[in-house]
Amino acid sequence: MSARSPLARIRRYPSAVAGLAIILFLVGVAVYTVVAIPHAQAMADWRGGDQWRMNPANASPVWTNRLFGGNAPPTLTISSDGAEVESAVFEGGRQLRIPLAFDFAYDDFPSEMTLLLSVLGTDRPAFVQATWERPDGSEVRLGAHRIAGEDRIAISRNRALEGRLGQVPHIGLFTDQTGPGRPAVLPGTYRLTLEAVLFDPGAELRAELVAFGRVHGLAGTDHLRRDLMLALLWGTPVALAFGLLAAVGTTVTTLVIAAAGVWFGGLVDATIQRLTEVTMILPVLPVLVMVGTLYSTSIWLMLGVVIALGIFSASIKMYRAMLLPLRNAPYIEAARAYGASDMRIILRYMIPRILPVLIPAFVTLIPTYVFLEASLAVLGLGDPVLPTWGKILNDAQAQGALYNGFYYWVVAPAALLMLTGLGFALFGFALDRIFNPRLRSA
Amino acid sequence: MSAPLLAVEDLSLHYRTEAGVLKALDRVSFELDRGEALVFLGESGCGKTSLARALLRLLPRNLAEYSGRVSLGGTDLMALSDERFRREIRWSRVSIVMQAAMNALNPVVRVGEQVAEPLTIHAGTPRAAAMERAARALTRVGVSADFMDRYPFELSGGMRQRVVLAMALITEPELVILDEPTSALDLLTQAGIMNVLKRIKRESGTSFILITHDVGTSSELADHVALMYAGQIVERSPARQFFRTPAHPYGEALMASVPRLRDRTEPQPLEGTPPPLIDPPAGCRFAPRCARRFAPCDRPPPEARLDDGRRALCWLHGGAA
Amino acid sequence: MKDSAPPLLAVQELRTWFALRKWGFLRAGTVHAVDGVSFELARGEAVAIVGESGCGKSSLARTLLGLDRPGAGEIVIDGTPLGTMDKAALHRLRASIGYVQQDPYAALPPFMDVATILAEPLRIHGLPHGRDRLTAALEEVGLTPAAEVLEKFPHMLSGGQQQRVVIARALILEPSLIIADEPVSMLDASVSAGILRLLRRIQQSRSLTLLFITHNLATVRHFADRIFVMYAGRFVETGPTEALLDTPQHPYTRALLAAVADPDPENADHDRPVPDSEPPSLINPPAGCRFHPRCPQAIPGLCDREAPPGFQPRPGQTGWCWLHR
């Protein structure tokens, strides 16, 4: 090898620079994620629940608007706080008239509509009547409700309303078409008027109309309204860590075992070779599936099994082939002559000789393990708590994402997986050419 | 005196490397008469192997320059196309025995077939005739024809070297180039091979170029010696003169450093290393190690011709200032 | 030159053999690399073992170094038989024998710099390996400026410099015996003269015993006190350098000497006498005297039946040849 530092030589290979850039980008994302969204909080969030209730379900990312043209609506929240409330007091209560008006000029309908009502300052239930007014003046009565405390009124799921409109409410309320054919949004100002009767003069009614959009955030949402960005971000450190740990674990152990086999020869070598041959044939994924199904799918267990199977893999044969000629190398004989122990010879005299070949092999091994972990997750055997890219794919598949047209759900994690693979592959193969002069073309 | 068999003028061979242009051969000129053996003597890195390659146009991929005039029996070799060179010159008029050639024999082809290959492939000779000539070539080099049916691994190193020699001789070339033919062999085997070469030279009048670093071996065959240093020929002298009184200080130092069996003088080591062939110094390349260095040596020395036939690239023997 | 004190090394009927195996475990013959060798080395002596490839000289060296196991015979080092030494004693023995190999580049780990290479033997034996020690080692073999050389890697050094590093490494544990196997055969003539001179100088200044293995008879005159000539696993002649070179007693020695070409233009005028036929097989060596198939003076009925014992045709010289009976 020339005296030029490896770093300088990396710069001469565009593919190495590109690969390294991708890897550094992913590492940067991973570090940022772990710092900005601490592990405990991420796990809690991902488990789903109330914190996501203001998100639409199955919403596409916001930028799809720009990408595909069209103008899909984001989530609109119209609150009574900003509205001109008319209030009339009577004996024993108040009468309120709350207009919730908003402009709606999008190409597509909301995905869902919910009315959130809270009665504040009294235990007594209130009586609310809701009327919907379209830009063309047509009115629809949405019904009357008795509200105590807090209540969510799922307008979209109102069967009776659906029957009256002839369509699901979140479409029917926004269009004037009744006939056949695809309905179009009627643009203009819409108004939901609430006429409420409160049986306590000091009570207040707070209303929020939520028209859930079809786009949300940078990565969209899943069926549980979870922002996919969380899983995409958190999937990065998990993927990288798993890949790295597995690659390091297997490579180091394989190396030492191969060297020991070569050095001690005889029965030791034969045993290792036979063991390797058996393990080589074992299919890794089915074994992992078995372990996952019969024991647990904890990621640490999976990692352990992967490393155990990976140690006695075909790499042992490759390292053995590279180390075998060294056995009788003059410099090793000289070391024996001045009293070097077997262990010392293996660690300090044989292994450094193959490190240049090892490093590229190690780098290209990392994405293999990343994909393995993702495959396990897609099969439903991923770690149950961790938000990983594979888990996203698993959810997407279970919810029929492609069938339903939620492409973003599949494309984002797949793209990240491919990017990871690309980055490490580019870098690894370029390293191969740097460390192995014989592979260069000139 | 008849015209020389081989006339080389200003032959240069440069390689392109990461560190720059390596001038392995730098304007080398010499002549070889028919039936003569010219020995290129030099130590590692002097360019002698590049010389063999240059003469047979076995050029590397990272070639930077290949120029000069080479004339073989009147034919201008440099003017020939690669295809014509391959057909007409290589192996039919000039053949080569490379370093450690005995390891280059095809292990799955029998000895007889391999020796016959230059004829069957190159000259299109029918197989039966080629095999007969192969048997004769083998006996010529001292290998019994019984070995025709054997495989190379069944032969010892010395015998394999003889087989390679037979391959080089079978087309009866005018010139055979030998690059370190005996360096990997034992003492007795070496002597045997040199005997074979001597005999062939006597009997068939083939001309030889022998490239070696072994001073003793070179004296076994040489009619003339060309001493190489740092890509140049620094001395060209008849063997008689060279081994007794070399004209160039490097020749003197080399002769003084060789351990001799029949002489009680202790060998004198030569300090230092040859200059790099990338960007060689402008003046005499041996000057930094020369015991007789003086003022003019900073400029490139001329070729001085002495009366007794010795020629040296050195200021000590006069020449234009 | 010979000491009256007990010998540093005494070898008795040493045999080293290798089993040839087909397919990894089937025995297909035995190579008798060293087949009955006995000698003594006095302290401070320089002895050359001369022979062609396959004669067993390298196997002999490796057996003495502990790299190959002897099949039979006795090795006594400084009065202690090798067979009685325990692991610790054997480990200490490694420090008292230095090894210089043929290929200087291959003998140095390419990924270690010179400082690390020199420090390794010291580290292994738990000895101090400070900068001063390493610098002194390099200065002793003439590699200066030492500070610069210590930082270099083997591929940055010339062949001669590499061999000097190998020698420095061999000396660093202060051994009493140095075994050098063809130390200059891969070096140019002008460089090898310097290395040989260095070895001789160090051997004399440290009163080291030097066992020097070579196939080049021309080098031994100035660097050896005694010569052992080896053929097909056995010694065929031993004696003081001058006497052996001037009046060789064994036909093989004579053949070797006749085959050496000094740089002499007269060489081109005549052939060299060379024994015909091939070097002997070590698996099935010839019966009786192993040289007999190639010997111009073989006595039929005797040389092909019985191996000759050592005779002393002249004081100090021993020849294993029936001609001296």
Range of the domain at B56: 6-93+173-317
Question: Using the beta-carbon criterion (under 8 Å), do B18 and A442 form an inter-chain contact?
Answer: no
- Neighboring chains of A (3 or more beta-carbon pairs < 8 A): B, C
* b/e map C36-51, b = 16+ CB within 10 Å: ebebebbbbbbbbbbb
Question: Using the beta-carbon criterion (under 8 Å), do A2 and B62 form an inter-chain contact?
Answer: no
Taking the CA of residue A315 and the nearest CA in chain C, the distance in Å comes to 23
Question: Using the beta-carbon criterion (under 8 Å), do B216 and C279 form an inter-chain contact?
Answer: no
Domain boundary among A172, A187, A212: A212
Q: Mean pLDDT across the stretch C203-212?
A: 91
pLDDT for B47: 86
- Helix ranges restricted to H, chain B: 48-55, 82-84, 111-117, 127-140, 157-169, 187-204, 215-221, 239-244, 249-257
Q: Which of C196, C257, C267 sits opposite B261 (nearest CB)?
A: C257
- Token pair for B161: 């070297």
How many domains does one find in chain B? 1
**Residue A84 and residue A163 share a domain:** yes
User: Which domains, and CATH codes, for chain C?
Assistant: 9-263+272-324 (3.40.50.300)
pLDDT at A438 over 80: no
Please report which helix (H) or strand (E) contains residue A121, including its range.
Answer: none
**Residue A102 and residue A139 share a domain:** yes
pLDDT for B178: 93
pLDDT for A11: 76
- For A215-224, the pLDDT digits (tens) are 888 888 888 8
**Which residues in chain B come in under a pLDDT of 70?**
1-2, 319-321
**Residue A368 and residue A292 share a domain:** yes
**Residue A248 and residue A167 share a domain:** no
Distance CA C50, CA B186 (A): 12
Residue A66 lies in a domain: no
Taking the CA of residue B108 and the nearest CA in chain C, the distance in Å comes to 20
- For C225-263, the pLDDT digits (tens) are 999 999 998 999 999 999 999 999 999 999 999 988 889
C186 touches chain B (CB under 8 A): no
User: C217 to chain B: which residues are within 8 Å by CB?
Assistant: 187, 261
Cβ-defined contacts of A396-403 (< 8 Å, 24+): A396/A222, A399/A58, A399/A222, A399/A223
Residue B138 lies in a domain: no
**Residue A162 and residue A37 share a domain:** no
Q: Which of C197, C263, C278 sits opposite B216 (nearest CB)?
A: C263
Peptide bond into A73 cis (omega under 30): no
pLDDT for A360: 85
**Residue A178 and residue A37 share a domain:** no
Instruction: Supply the CATH number for residue A165's domain.
Output: 2.60.120
Provide φ and ψ at B47, rounded to 5°.
105, 5
Domain boundary among A159, A180, A212: A212
**Residue A286 and residue A367 share a domain:** yes
Q: Which of B159, B191, B214 sits opposite C272 (nearest CB)?
A: B191
Number of other CB atoms surrounding residue C18 within 10 Å: 16
Asked if B115 and B163 count as a contact pair (C-beta separation under 8 A), the reply is: yes
Residue of A nearest to B60 (CA): A442
Torsion of CA B228, B232, B238, B242, to 10 degrees: -50
pLDDT for B30: 92
Residue of C nearest to B240 (CA): C265
User: B158 to chain C: which residues are within 8 Å by CB?
Assistant: 278
Residue A217 lies in a domain: no
Taking the CA of residue B206 and the nearest CA in chain C, the distance in Å comes to 15
How many domains does one find in chain A? 2
Range of the domain at A114: 73-212
**Residue A199 and residue A124 share a domain:** yes
pLDDT for C22: 66
Q: Which of B159, B186, B266 sits opposite C52 (nearest CB)?
A: B186
pLDDT band of residue A5 (cuts 50, 70, 90) is low
**Residue A133 and residue A39 share a domain:** no
pLDDT for B142: 87
- For A124-143, the pLDDT digits (tens) are 888 899 999 998 888 888 88
Taking the CA of residue A18 and the nearest CA in chain C, the distance in Å comes to 29
Q: Mean pLDDT across the stretch A119-126?
A: 85
By C-alpha distance, which of C289, C286, C309 is closest to C299?
C289
Q: Which of C191, C216, C259 sits opposite B191 (nearest CB)?
A: C259
* b/e map B100-132, b = 16+ CB within 10 Å: bbbeebeeeebbbbbbbbbbbebeebeeeebbe
Q: Which of A338, A351, A357 to mutate to test the interface with C (most CBs of C within 10 A)?
A: A338
B83 touches chain A (CB under 8 A): no
Residue A67 lies in a domain: no
- For B287-301, the pLDDT digits (tens) are 888 988 888 888 888
Residue A313 lies in a domain: yes
Complex-level ipTM beyond the 0.90 threshold: no
Amino acid letter for position B44: S
Residue A188: strand pairing partners: A104
Residue of A nearest to B18 (CA): A2
pLDDT at C50 over 90: yes
- Neighboring chains of C (3 or more beta-carbon pairs < 8 A): A, B
Q: Mean pLDDT across the stretch C258-278?
A: 86
Domain boundary among A185, A212, A239: A212
Q: Which of B240, B262, B270 sits opposite C190 (nearest CB)?
A: B270
Instruction: Supply the CATH number for residue A407's domain.
Output: 1.10.3720.10
- For A296-316, the pLDDT digits (tens) are 778 788 888 888 888 888 888
By C-alpha distance, which of A131, A94, A101 is closest to A205?
A94
pLDDT for C4: 58
- For A311-352, the pLDDT digits (tens) are 888 888 888 888 888 888 999 999 999 999 988 988 899 888
Residue A59 lies in a domain: no
DSSP type of residue C65 = H
Name residue, tokens 């140049």.
B232
- For B66-77, the pLDDT digits (tens) are 999 999 988 888
Distance CA B226, CA B309 (A): 12
Return residues 1-60 of A near B (CB < 8 Å): 2
pLDDT for A333: 92
User: C196 to chain B: which residues are within 8 Å by CB?
Assistant: 259, 267
Q: Which of C91, C108, C156 sits opposite A331 (nearest CB)?
A: C108
Instruction: Supply the CATH number for residue B14's domain.
Output: 3.40.50.300
Taking the CA of residue C129 and the nearest CA in chain A, the distance in Å comes to 15
Q: Mean pLDDT across the stretch A43-57?
A: 83
**Any residues with CB less than 8 A from the CB of A67 and at least 6 apart, and which?**
none
CB pairs under 8 A between A and B: 3
Question: Using the beta-carbon criterion (under 8 Å), do C265 and B44 form an inter-chain contact?
Answer: no
Asked if C188 and B213 count as a contact pair (C-beta separation under 8 A), the reply is: yes
**Residue A352 and residue A228 share a domain:** yes
Distance CA A390, CA A371 (A): 9
pLDDT for A305: 84
Residue A411 lies in a domain: yes
- For C142-184, the pLDDT digits (tens) are 998 888 999 999 988 888 999 999 999 999 999 999 999 999 8
Instruction: With H, G, I as helix, E, B as strand and everything else as coil, classify residue B92.
Output: coil
- For B113-129, the pLDDT digits (tens) are 999 988 888 778 899 99
**Residue A413 and residue A285 share a domain:** yes
Show the 3-state SS of A27-78: HHHHHHHHHHCCHHHHHHHHCCCHHHCCCCCCCECCCHHHHHCCCCCCCEEE
pLDDT band of residue A439 (cuts 50, 70, 90) is low
pLDDT for B184: 75
